[in-house]
Chains A and B, each alone.
Chain A
Amino acid sequence: MLLVIVRRILILIPMLVMLSMTCFAIIQLPPGDYLSTYILNLENQGLVVDEAEVARLTQRYGLGQPLHVQYLRWMRNFLAHGDLGRSFGSYGSSHSNKPVTDIIAERLPATIIISIVSTIVVWAVAIPIGIYSATHQYSLTDYVATFVGFIGLALPNFLFAIIIMWIVFAQTGHAVTGLFSLEFRHAPWSIAKAIDMLKNIWAPVLVLSTAGIAGMIRVMRANLLDELNKQYVVTARSKGLSERRLLWKYPVRIAFNPIFSTIGWLLPAIVGGEALVSIVFNLNTIGPVLLSAVLRQDMYLAGSIIMILSALTLIGTLISDLALVWLDPRIRYD
């Protein structure tokens, strides 16, 4: 067990290094370098850039030097000082030209909360329905679940979000936008604020989990159907095991495995979907920042956001892999 965990963590390290290289490539991708875009941005605001500042920034990012030097400098600043570079823009607060890490740290908690809640909802809803669909194949519920599953796969996230906003607004006049109502937006955490959040968070969670639920019902149903047709199930039944015990003891446990092992694909989908849905719902998460960073070619911010999101996804995948090892002894003793 310990060996498996150590090996998995060791694989993670080169993955993270490759990830940081990919993200650095993304930062370098747009034509023109950081500094010229930065100067252009300042000039657009009617500000003059002084020579000393330019020299300081050139030195800081290693601009003009070969790419690998720039990359190493960027990584060293991050690992040694937690510095990923600076953003052009101001996000919310008056202080412009903020460190990228500050902006991300401000927004990350809401992103993580929504992603985790959505993942839990996906599992809590999809697994029971999948089991029911498989055990009651071709029943009305099965057909309804299959139909909803197809629609869930075909309905784009953002369109679903808009339709929800539209319906809620048309019926109640309440605009489901932002995570908190106005009066709580800058208030410190309290029970009232948490209740207020629940009033708004259901919409993004509903939107985000629908696509995941649709996919997972299909996987769970197919896995369990495969298992239910196997001979050991027939044997167990012929020996007089009760249906409930029979179902939960073996086939369901085995059908869980592919679901655990594909969480590595579910997570990027939810995090990626979260970015888009947050833009529509105007949530205070990473998504809208990423969009405005990309539109402004604020690349240190954009590249760093992708790096942090992907790193979290990789770690989430690692945790789920370890859960699989714990769940399935066959892998543990491999």
Chain B
Amino acid sequence: MDEADNKGAPSHDLAPAPDADSSIEYLSRAALIRRRFWRHRLARLGIAVLLPLYFLAIFADFVAPYRADTRLKGFKDAPPSVIRFGVEANIFQPYVYARKRSFHSKTFREIYTEVEEVKYPIHFFVRGEPYSVLGLFELDIHLFGVEDGTNITLFGTDIVGRDLFSRTTIAARVSLFIGLGGVAISFVLGCLIGGISGYFGGIIDEFIQRVIDLLIAIPTLPLWMALSAAIPIKWSVTQTYFAITIVLSVVGWTGLARVVRGKLLSLRDLDFVTAARLSGGSDLYVITRHLLPNFASHLIVSLTLAIPGMILGETALSFIGLGMQEPGVSWGVLLQDTMNFGALVHQPWKLIPGFFIIVTVLMFNFVGDGLRDAADPYSL
């Protein structure tokens, strides 16, 4: 990465680079930020974890062996499958054993024991339940699966026998992308309102600032809860999804608007802005061409750091039953099953979706920190 930047940048420059060593001086600002970002170890880790997670979410239907609502008959509250490895006919082959259900004599709790007679090899790119791709056509190829007669549940199953691994991957789609959607709306609102506030100043500014103060003072979660009360229960999964995105960004834009306003206030009286305006640039032109680029990096940092808050918000709302509704799934919906903490003693695998939330939020914070350090011209 660093190498490519070193060589790439100066070749487009008018001044010829005398030798490789001094070429470092010709790096563009963007290239400098990129270099500093990649030097941040935790930020690299964040990217390395988040990218696969997002790929997992995009191809969830393909990766998941079952659909989110498929009930595996006779496999309620089954623990994760144990994957074993063996060499069959000179081929390295992972396999699982079939499981048999019995009941505890006193508590009637399900007990699953492996039947160590037949090995069921795990096949890759197998045909399974059909799913639609972007609503355009149907496919039935899955990344992995086992033959009929048994099943594979990497993360165990829930109380009605739905595969938790499939549900977690499919839920990732809602949980991971709601943050991006919410931030996108917040971005537009924040830039627009913050821009108006900072650019015009005066009474408009005072009013907008008071509104922002007020929104920040209202405890976020109760506000979200009340707003989601307005989402009709009859709405479809997609409608609910967009409604929640909007609810989350009602609060989200305030932080961004403050950043935009603060930066605009400090920039708007500088000479180059006056020059642009005197040359006949319209307000919108001056804002978008001269002012916004000046703090774009700052905006990106604020945006990245806002995403985890949105993901946590959706999770919390869904967890208490005000967010996504079945048949829609998100990590928060999956965690509803953990409300019964007594059952967790016997079925701790139901906490696995929570692990995904923690990792995602943590990684976004790492990336945000890395971006902030990289975009700060004073840190070297």
**Contact call A166/B218, Cβ cutoff below 8 A:** no
B343-380 residues at the A interface, CB under 8 angstroms:
344-345, 348, 351, 354, 357-359, 361-362, 365-366
Contacts of B230 in A (CB 8 A): 29-31
Contacts of A265 in B (CB 8 A): 216
Residues of B within 8 A of A (CB): 210-211, 213-214, 216-223, 225-230, 232, 308, 312, 315-316, 319-322, 335, 338-339, 341-342, 344-345, 348, 351, 354, 357-359, 361-362, 365-366
**Contact call B316/A314, Cβ cutoff below 8 A:** no
Cβ contact of A159, chosen from B218, B342, B357, cutoff 8 A:
B357
**Contact call B315/A156, Cβ cutoff below 8 A:** yes
Main secondary structure of the interface of A (DSSP, over half): helix
**Contact call A169/B342, Cβ cutoff below 8 A:** yes
Q: Does A99 contact B (CB under 8 A)?
A: no
Q: Per-residue CB proximity of A1-29 to B under 8 Å, as 1/0?
A: 00000000000001100110010001001
User: Known pairs A158-B335, A159-B335, A268-B218. 17 more at Cβ < 8 A?
Assistant: A19-B217, A26-B227, A29-B226, A29-B229, A30-B229, A30-B230, A153-B308, A153-B361, A154-B358, A158-B319, A162-B344, A169-B345, A269-B219, A272-B222, A295-B229, A310-B214, A317-B217
Residues of A within 8 A of B (CB): 14-15, 18-19, 22, 26, 29-31, 150-151, 153-159, 162-163, 165-166, 169-170, 175, 264-265, 268-269, 271-273, 275-276, 279-280, 290-291, 294-295, 297, 299, 302-303, 305-306, 309-310, 313-314, 317
Top 3 nearest A-B pairs by Cβ distance?
A272-B219, A272-B221, A154-B361
A19-B214, A265-B216 known; A162+B229 contact, CB < 8 A: no
Contacts of B228 in A (CB 8 A): 294
Contacts of A18 in B (CB 8 A): 210-211, 214
Contacts of A302 in B (CB 8 A): 225-226, 229
A19-B218, A153-B361, A156-B312 known; A162+B338 contact, CB < 8 A: yes
Closest CB in chain A relative to B253 CB, distance in Å: 15
**Contact call A151/B362, Cβ cutoff below 8 A:** yes
Contacts of B221 in A (CB 8 A): 272-273, 275-276
For A31, the closest partner residue in chain B by CB is B232
